[in-house]
Chain A
Amino acid sequence: MGIHVSVRNATLGATLKMDIAPNETVYDIIESAAEFWKKDPKAYVLRKGKSLLTATDTMMEANIMNGDVLELLPDPEGG
């Protein structure tokens, strides 16, 4: 039974619906979302509300639940 989440693209404003297995990690979402939007080869992070999610956490460890809205953010590298 997957977990249904929405992932919002902070740059485009578009939203993607995803079905995630409980044992998948935050990084799996980042990778899939970046691939879906054919994002530039940059660094990305994922947030849920006020928390920046730890990439190695599973859905359970990150407390991601059905209906959650996550946001994919580019991690600014320039100085």
Chain B
Amino acid sequence: MISAKEYDKDRFDRSKRIEWIDMDGIRNARCFVAGAGALGNEVMKCLVLSGFRDITVTDTDHVVLSNLNRCVFFKDGDVENGMKSDILAERASELDRDVRITARHDKVQDIGDWNEFDVILGCLDNISARLHVNAHAYYRDIPYIDGGTDGMMGKVQVVLPNGPCLRCAMNRTHYDVLVTRFSCTGKASAFYIPKNAAEITTTSTVAAMQVREAMKIASGCEGMCIRDMAYYNGISGETTILNIKKDNMCENHMGE
């Protein structure tokens, strides 16, 4: 016999009622969040509330006004007044003081300590950075959960050791986009991020799916993970699971 109040002695009481969830595994998992924009905000919220305790987030950008339609942790006063990763780490820590969030301002191309992470959540806004994280994660057997949004469309691709990777699902249209993002002025190279449609309902759906996959991995339930991509259509409300074949032409799989 227990008293009614005993139900509220544990912050994660309700989470622990889900049989496959391993709260120790989640608590001990070292997460790397690449990008502190819209997906990064939602992913961070879900990670902290789900019990992850060791999170590193990186982003090179400042907060701008147009971020505020979909970034739960950013406020008006943050516009042009702080780095995204710093603000995200500070505000998300307020959700649970037991969480340790490390903010960085590094490009993913400058990350050197990949082996310090057990799971990587991609919240990036360009193909070049995705390919970079994908290659490092695949090479080191670190599970990589990539999210992407385009208006009301979204996707989550789970890259597990020995499985198909992000590159396997790409084609020449991706490389055409990648090339158009770079512009050489003669004096320097510039990198352009297009102003694509983006809103919070698709963002939060995709981010929640990403964190759920991280929970499975941290709980030792990789076998339950999405194989290999969940494609979300926010207009029809459908989510389709798409299988991806390893591409023999993919440089990550040559020689396997």
Q: Give the CA-CA distance A30 to B173 in the complex, in Å.
A: 8
Q: Give the CA-CA distance A38 to B243 in the complex, in Å.
A: 28
Q: Which residue of chain B has its CB nearest to the CB of A25? A: B171
Q: Are A44 and B173 in contact (CB under 8 A)?
A: yes
Q: Give the CA-CA distance A55 to B242 in the complex, in Å.
A: 15
Q: For chain B, residues 1 to 52, give those with C-beta under 8 angstroms from any C-beta of chain A.
A: 35, 37-40
> Inside 8 A of A11's CB, which chain B residues have their CB?
153
A67 lies within 8 A of chain B by Cβ: no
What bracket does the count of chain B residues touching chain A fall in?
A: 35 or more
Most buried by A among B124, B228, B231: B231
Q: How far is the CB of B10 from chain A (nearest CB, A)?
A: 34
Q: A54-B247, A79-B39, A79-B40 are in contact. Are A43 and B170 (CB under 8 A)?
A: yes
Q: Give the CA-CA distance A54 to B84 in the complex, in Å.
A: 36
Q: Which residue of chain A has its CB nearest to the CB of B231? A: A73
Q: How far is the CB of B182 from chain A (nearest CB, A)?
A: 13
Q: Which residue of chain A has its CB nearest to the CB of B176? A: A41
Q: Are A52 and B242 in contact (CB under 8 A)?
A: yes
> Inside 8 A of B149's CB, which chain A residues have their CB?
76, 78-79
User: What is B's interface to A at a CB cutoff of 8 Å?
Assistant: 35, 37-40, 122-127, 147-150, 153-155, 168-174, 176-177, 180, 196, 198, 228-229, 231, 233, 240-245, 247, 249
User: What is A's interface to B at a CB cutoff of 8 Å?
Assistant: 10-11, 26-27, 30-31, 34, 41-45, 47, 50-52, 54-56, 73-79
Shortest beta-carbon contacts, A-B, top 5:
A55-B171, A76-B148, A76-B150, A79-B125, A43-B174
User: Can you give 20 contacting A-B residue pairs, CB < 8 Å?
Assistant: A11-B153, A30-B171, A34-B173, A43-B127, A43-B170, A43-B173, A44-B171, A47-B240, A52-B243, A54-B168, A54-B244, A54-B245, A54-B247, A75-B150, A76-B149, A76-B150, A76-B154, A78-B198, A79-B38, A79-B125
